[in-house]
């Protein structure tokens, strides 16, 4: 797959060296071929798109790391991903990509919550303090409010940068005991 993000990799994600080797356009190292499994792609099969929907920064990170193992394949046969295929990827792109998805510290965790809570189920409404931030094992938990008064909580993975769960209070405070409690704090 040579399609690249137009803004970041205008000439494409890979180059061909003088000896005919495929190189990563960013790192200038040879791409590595691996066996992977994709959804069936026969002429009569519908196109199946498998999206990495739980990792909100996936698309952003990908722009900087053009030759990753793509999201629509699996390295082991699983679910509908059973048709063998060959993937060319850059080990440095893959390493940087996973590093970009990690949420290593409180500052990054707060940015993650401020970015994701409004777009995930907040209807575009921004978050506001106070922020309660905790880390248990691999799981960040952040509770805060949206500017319209709803309470919001998000749990996500520190290592994978994937959303585990989100929870939103109701906007209508009059018939929600929980929300009345939250409002008085
Ligand atoms: Zn690379």
Q: Please say if the pLDDT value at position 167 is more than 70.
A: yes
Supply the pLDDT for residue 104: 97
Question: Taking the complete model, does pTM exceed 0.85, yes or no?
Answer: no
| Residue 46 Cα to ligand 1 middle (Å) | 31
- Report how far ligand 1's centroid is from the alpha carbon of 68 (Å): 8
Contact 156, 137 (CB under 8 A): no
Query: How far is ligand 1, taken at its centre, from the CA of residue 90, in Å?
Result: 5
Task: For residue 156, report the distance from its CA to the centre of ligand 1, in Å.
Answer: 27
Please tell me the distance between residue 14's alpha carbon and the centre of ligand 1 in angstroms. 9
DSSP string, the chain: -----TTT-TT-SEEE-TTS-EEETTT-SB-EEEEEEE----TTSPP-----TT-TTHHHHHHH-TTPPPTT-BSS-BTTB-EEEEEEE-HHHHHHHHHHH---SHHHHHHHHHHHHHHHTSTTPPEEEEEEEEEETTEEEEEEEETTS-EEEEEEETTT--EEEEEE--S--TT-HHHHHHHH-
Q: Quick one: pLDDT band at residue 170, thresholds 50, 70, 90?
A: confident
- Of 59 and 169, which is predicted with more confidence? 169
Averaged pLDDT for residues 7-12: 59
Set out the domains of the chain in order of their start, with CATH numbers. Answer: 14-101 (no CATH), 106-184 (3.10.450)
Position 97 scores a pLDDT of: 94
Q: Smallest Cα–Cα separation from 151: which of 170, 134, 135? A: 170
Give the pLDDT mean for 101-123: 95
Q: Cα of 36 to ligand 1 centre, how many Å? A: 19
Which tokens belong to 127?
Answer: 């978050």
* Average pLDDT value for residue range 121-129: 94
CA of 184 to the centre of ligand 1 (A): 52
Distance 13 CA to ligand 1 centre (A): 8
**Ligand 1 mean position to 112 CA, how many Å?**
25
Beta bridge partners of 134: 141
C-alpha 10 to ligand 1 mean position (Å): 15
Token pair, residue 59, equals 């698309």
């Amino acid at each position: 797959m040579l399609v690249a993000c137009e803004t970041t990799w205008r000439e494409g994600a890979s180059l061909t060296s003088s000896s005919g080797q495929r190189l990563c356009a960013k790192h200038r190292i040879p791409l590595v071929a691996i066996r992977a499994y994709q959804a069936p792609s026969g002429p009569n099969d519908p196109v199946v798109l498998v999206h990495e929907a739980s990792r909100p920064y996936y698309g952003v990170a990908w722009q900087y790391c053009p030759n990753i193992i793509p999201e629509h394949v699996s390295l082991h046969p699983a679910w509908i991903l059973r048709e063998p295929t060959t993937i060319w990827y850059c080990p440095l792109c893959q390493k940087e990509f996973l590093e970009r998805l990690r949420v290593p510290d409180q500052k990054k965790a707060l940015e993650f919550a401020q970015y994701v809570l409004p777009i995930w189920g907040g209807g575009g409404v921004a978050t506001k303090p106070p922020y309660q931030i905790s880390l248990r094992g691999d799981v960040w938990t952040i509770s805060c409010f949206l500017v319209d008064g709803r309470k919001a909580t998000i749990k996500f993975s520190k290592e994978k940068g994937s959303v585990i769960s989100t929870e939103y209070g109701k906007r209508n405070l009059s018939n929600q005991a929980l929300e009345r409690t939250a409002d008085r704090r």
